[in-house]
């Protein structure tokens, strides 16, 4: 089972530029969480801070009693082995085959024999749907296949926490849908805690148990997916609707005058209720997600602390218990 990640008062700056401040949240053990936000809001910096690759100015990241910000470097290094990290571009070595790329962490960090390494690597290659492509070089395959190879490499050390940095970047909507199903299937199989950084609304709508959003150097909200999907917070509503009207501008936040002019325009005041689509279910033949039962108990226990719209959405979710159709993985040579 995955491990709970507790973030307390995390603050990060580069020089005089404050990236975000006082970020506090808990990633529940084994559940899938998504962090949204416009480009440039420090989502990738947040991921790197969780794993200890960047040092925040203050705050704590607690994993199994180890603080990834302030504990001794030896403890941080050991705890980092609990993580699997999927980078935006796959971060593969161009001169190595997919097999050798995926085997790299095992050869670097373990003393396993080559026969054992081959068994593990081929298992992970099968999980991500790349059987038959293991001898290809990264330059010989599509971007979607490189991402899946990067995910396989993130899995070889059996991580209990998986961080995915914009796994959808550069993918078309169909390949993004396959990837979304793959992430849910993966969670069903290994029950790892997962955090996905993205600004893709399709992933946000169908994959996570929990959602958060970074904007204006702060965590706007974090909680059950229904909390964010029903939020009336202007920046959340603008982002989820993909509208120009709202606090997010083209290059930076809009000033007060621009926001006041929008608020006075009757065309921008109509608020259409958002439909919450069902969360993806694991593909046929896979076990039910163990996190789903834990999540249900946890969320129903916090109903009285949630806004009415989120409470009603959660009650509808569990009253109807919908099942979404699963999508098969594409074949290795499909170009995805």
Alpha helices by DSSP H, listed for the chain, are 43-50, 73-80, 98-109, 114-127, 143-155, 173-190, 201-206, 225-229, 234-241, 256-264, 290-300, 308-320
* Arithmetic mean of pLDDT over the chain: 87
Using an 8 Å Cβ cutoff, are 130 and 152 in contact?
A: yes
Q: How far, in Å, are 1, 213, 247 from residue 233 at the CA level?
A: 34, 11, 10
Is the pLDDT assigned to residue 326 strictly greater than 60? no
Is the pLDDT assigned to residue 335 strictly greater than 80? no
C-alpha–C-alpha distance, residues 212 and 231, integer Å: 11
Q: What is the pLDDT of residue 249?
A: 83
Three-state DSSP at 15 gives coil
Q: Which of 333, 7, 64 shows the shortest CA–CA distance to 195?
A: 7
C-alpha–C-alpha distance, residues 5 and 116, integer Å: 31
Average pLDDT over residues 281-298: 95
Contacts made by residues 282-288, CB under 8 angstroms, sequence distance 24+: 282/184, 282/185, 282/187, 282/188, 282/326, 283/181, 283/185, 283/326, 283/327, 283/328, 284/326, 286/185, 286/188, 286/189, 287/188, 287/189, 288/188
C-alpha–C-alpha distance, residues 137 and 146, integer Å: 9
Percent of the chain beyond pLDDT 70? Answer: 87
For the domain spanning 1-82+159-224+274-320, the CATH number is: 3.40.50.300
pLDDT band at 306 (very low <50, low <70, confident <90, very high): very high
Is the pLDDT assigned to residue 147 strictly greater than 90? no
pLDDT band at 251 (very low <50, low <70, confident <90, very high): low
Q: Is the dihedral of CA 84, 89, 91, 92 positive or negative?
A: positive
Q: What is the pLDDT of residue 275?
A: 77
Q: What is the pLDDT of residue 194?
A: 97
Q: What is the pLDDT of residue 59?
A: 96
Average pLDDT over residues 44-50: 92
Is the pLDDT assigned to residue 159 strictly greater than 60? yes
Q: Which residues of the chain are in CATH 3.40.50.300 domains? A: 1-82+159-224+274-320
């Amino acid at each position: 089972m995955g491990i709970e990640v507790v973030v307390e008062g995390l603050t990060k700056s580069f020089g005089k530029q404050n990236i975000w401040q006082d970020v506090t949240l808990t990633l529940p053990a084994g559940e899938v969480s998504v962090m949204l936000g416009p480009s440039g809001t420090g989502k990738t910096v947040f991921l790197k801070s969780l794993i200890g690759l960047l040092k925040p100015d203050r705050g704590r990241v607690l994993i199994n009693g180890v603080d990834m910000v302030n504990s001794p470097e030896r403890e941080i290094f050991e705890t980092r082995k609990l993580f699997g990290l999927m980078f935006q571009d796959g971060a593969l070595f161009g001169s190595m085959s997919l097999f050798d790329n995926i085997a790299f962490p095992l050869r670097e960090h373990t003393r396993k024999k080559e026969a054992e390494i081959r068994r593990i690597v081929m298992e992970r290659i099968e999980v991500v749907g790349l059987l038959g492509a293991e001898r290809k070089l990264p330059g010989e395959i599509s971007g979607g296949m490189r991402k899946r190879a990067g995910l396989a490499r993130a899995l070889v050390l059996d991580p209990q926490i998986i961080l995915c940095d914009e796994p959808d970047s550069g993918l078309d909507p169909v390949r993004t849908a396959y990837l979304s199903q793959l992430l849910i299937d993966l969670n069903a199989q290994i029950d790892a805690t997962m955090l996905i950084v993205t600004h893709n609304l399709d992933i946000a709508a169908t994959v996570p148990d929990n959602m958060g959003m970074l904007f204006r150097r702060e965590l706007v909200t974090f909680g059950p997916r229904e909390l964010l999907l029903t939020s009336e917070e202007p920046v959340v509503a603008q982002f989820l609707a993909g509208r120009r009207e709202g606090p997010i501008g083209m290059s930076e936040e809009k000033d007060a005058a621009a926001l006041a002019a929008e608020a006075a325009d009757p065309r921008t005041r109509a608020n259409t209720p958002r439909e919450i689509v069902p969360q993806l279910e694991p593909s046929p033949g896979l076990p039910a997600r163990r996190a789903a039962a834990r999540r249900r108990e946890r969320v129903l226990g916090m109903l009285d602390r949630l806004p009415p719209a989120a409470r009603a959405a959660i009650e509808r979710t569990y009253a109807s218990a919908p099942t979404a159709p699963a999508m098969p993985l594409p074949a290795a040579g499909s170009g995805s």
